Every structure is written in C-alpha cells, then in structure tokens.
C-alpha cells in the first residue's frame, strides 16, 4: 500500500525499486552498475551518473585529465538521490551548477564503515580534494532502532546482512536448475516481506508454524546496547577521517542528514500520509522518526566532534526554519523529492561552501 501511494505521487520511484544491490569486495553491498532508466542511471562503478557545471557526464577514469581539484560527497541513499526524478536533480548536481564541483559517491544503504571503505578503495581515481562532505547519519541511527540487524557486532553491521549473504553467493556459485529455483522462491518471499502489510503478517504466521531451522541467529541486543555499538563504530570511522584530514589537508565536514521528525518542520499532508504508511510497514520507524530518539542520537554523536578536526553540521536545524513548514520535500522518513534536493543543495552552498 505504501509503495502504491508513493508511486502515485512519484511514479519514477519504480526505477529505484528495480535498482538492485550487488556484492562488491570489502564494501559488501553496492548498487548495480550500468543501470539504465528514465530517473536513475549508474556508471560502470555503480556510482550515479553525474555532471560537471557544463552538464557533461563525469568519467571517473578520466577525471584527473580534466580537473586538478574537486569536492567529494559521501553518504547513503539520500546523498545518492533516491526519489529524484532524474540524475540532474540530485543535490550534488545542484551544488555543481552553483560553481562548486561536487562528485557524488553516495550509495544506497551505506553505514559509516561502508562510506569510509568506499573512499579508501576508490580514492585513486580523484584529483586533489578540497572538501569531503559526509552527508549521513540516518542509516547508522536506524540500526539502533532495528532489532536483529547485528550478526557480528564486534565487526559492524550492514542492512539485511543475512539476506544479502544468500543473494550474493549466487554471484560466485554456479547454479544448477534446482538450486536456482529455490533461490528464486526465497527471493520472491523476501520481496513480499519487504512490501510489509498483510504479506509480512501472513508469511510471518506461516513461518511460526514451521520447525525451527538450526544455524546462527542475529545477536539480540537492547536499544541502549545497539546505540553504544553504533556510536563506537562511528567514533572509530571519524578518527580515521581525522587522520585523512591531517595527512592530506582536505577539509572534512559531517552533515547529519535530514529525517522527518528530527526538525521542527511541520509536515505537509502528503508527507504525513507517506511516512505513516512507511511506519505501518516498518513499525520501528516510529522510534527512528521521533524527536526523543533524535535528541538522544545527536547528543551522542556531538560528543565525538568536541575534540575533532571535522566540522559538524545538523541539516535538521536548517530545516527547522518556519519558512519550510508544510512544504513537500520528504518522500518517506529520509528521502527527498526534487524540491527537497534543490533545497539541500542551496543550504549546503550557504552553510558549507560559503563559510
């Protein structure tokens, strides 16, 4: 139901729904490369197709031959531009059009460790970097709210770790027909669960009727334990980013990304309807989008920056300006429409690039 309403308002979301995640070494989960659609296109690495100030598509393998310096954006799906109506509408491209060339290395589902590893794996492609903007935080915060996401908490976590493990092994194992048929059935069932609503309820009921399957289960942790673990991983990553800043001279900025409910912005009726259905499908999002959780999470991460060389910004405080009340910018709890991306692009120019 939530997807139906989302598609009613934003029909191009269909292109995002069909964009798969694939296995990539070290970073684990990355968006499908060379994906083609009307709203979303990716290059051979899996980064979103993006453009310079003249509107020319960027080729990262030739980048050093055309520019001596750049700015870099790293983050999750909001930075990637989920729910933009075209590649040109991402806020990274909006910033580039203002004269500050900003390359977009956001990718869907990324948490802080994946963001850092992606940079370390692909930094050889870039010329000198003036600014790195970490536009992030929501994915790390959501791990605190989602019980059961940690299988190996001492190493970190990615979203749907067990699902991705089963999905990605097919990229390496030769399939016989029987194995492939089973994998397809499992994939279909998981898609139905992800749709939420009555499908999830029915399949959950059927699962409870089946004998228990032996094997390793996700580690069950309390919310406070998950918060402690997530903050620890974030602190560790930011320490490494600080080392990068000191050794290279690049300026690194951390922007806590906007989430519906984390600012005092009054939501439009469309935003309220979409987010309500979002929470109906994933009940833990009620905690994630609450102001109480936001204040607790922000308080913890702000402590990390007290002795850090990394500049901290909170995009939620930017959106608390009454000027944005009742304006449609969110398509769900953390993704933005074209107007939302335009707005964030303007705010980044004002708060980061002009400081």
Does the structure show a pLDDT above 90 at 53? no
Predicted pLDDT at 173: 62
- Nearest 5°: CA angle at 189, between 187 and 194? 95
> With bands split at pLDDT 50, 70 and 90, how would you rate the model's confidence at 26?
very high
Class of domain 41-147+223-353: alpha beta
- The answer to whether 307 and 242 have CB atoms below 8 angstroms apart is no
Residues present in the chain in total:
355
CA-based radius of gyration for the chain: 20
Look up residue 65 and give its two tokens. 């031959």
Residues with Cβ within 8 Å of residue 94, at least 6 apart in sequence:
341, 342, 344, 345, 346
Residues with Cβ within 8 Å of residue 341, at least 6 apart in sequence:
81, 84, 89, 90, 91, 94
- The answer to whether 333 and 343 have CB atoms below 8 angstroms apart is no
Residues with Cβ within 8 Å of residue 239, at least 6 apart in sequence:
none
Residues with Cβ within 8 Å of residue 198, at least 6 apart in sequence:
none
pLDDT, tens digit, for every residue of 188-247?
A: 777 777 777 777 777 777 777 676 544 445 678 899 999 999 999 999 999 999 999 999
pLDDT, tens digit, for every residue of 313-327?
A: 999 999 999 999 999
Q: pTM score, two decimals?
A: 0.86
């Amino acid at each position: 139901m939530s997807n139906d309403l989302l598609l009613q308002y934003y029909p191009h979301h269909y292109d995002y729904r069909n964009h798969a995640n694939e296995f990539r070494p070290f970073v684990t989960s990355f968006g499908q490369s060379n994906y083609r659609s009307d709203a979303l296109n990716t290059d051979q690495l899996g980064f979103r197709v993006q453009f310079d100030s003249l509107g020319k598509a960027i080729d990262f393998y030739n980048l050093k031959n055309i520019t001596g310096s750049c700015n870099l954006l790293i983050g999750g799906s909001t930075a990637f531009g989920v729910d933009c109506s075209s590649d040109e509408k991402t806020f990274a491209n909006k910033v580039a059009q203002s004269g500050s060339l900003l390359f977009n290395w956001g990718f869907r589902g990324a948490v802080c460790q994946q963001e850092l590893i992606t940079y370390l794996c692909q930094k050889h492609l870039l010329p000198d970097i003036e600014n790195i903007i970490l536009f992030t935080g929501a994915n790390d915060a959501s791990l605190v709210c989602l019980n059961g996401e940690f299988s190996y908490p001492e190493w970190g976590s990615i979203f749907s770790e067990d699902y991705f493990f089963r999905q990605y092994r097919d990229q390496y194992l030769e399939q016989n027909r029987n194995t492939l048929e089973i994998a397809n059935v499992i994939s279909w069932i998981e898609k139905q669960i992800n749709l939420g609503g009555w499908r999830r309820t029915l399949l959950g009921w059927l699962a409870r009727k089946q004998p228990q399957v032996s094997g390793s289960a996700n580690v069950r942790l309390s919310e406070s334990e998950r918060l402690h673990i997530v903050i620890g991983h974030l602190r560790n990553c930011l320490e490494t980013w600080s080392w990068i800043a000191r050794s290279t001279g690049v300026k690194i900025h951390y922007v806590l990304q906007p989430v519906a409910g984390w600012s005092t912005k009054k939501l439009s009726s469309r935003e309220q309807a979409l987010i309500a259905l979002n929470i109906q499908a994933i009940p833990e999002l009620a905690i994630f989008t609450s102001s109480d959780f936001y204040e607790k999470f922000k308080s913890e991460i702000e402590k990390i920056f007290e002795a850090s060389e990394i500049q901290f910004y909170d995009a939620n405080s930017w959106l608390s300006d009454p000027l944005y009340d009742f304006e449609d910018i969110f398509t769900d709890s953390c993704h933005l429409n074209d107007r939302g991306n335009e707005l964030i692009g303007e705010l980044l120019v004002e708060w980061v690039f002009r400081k």
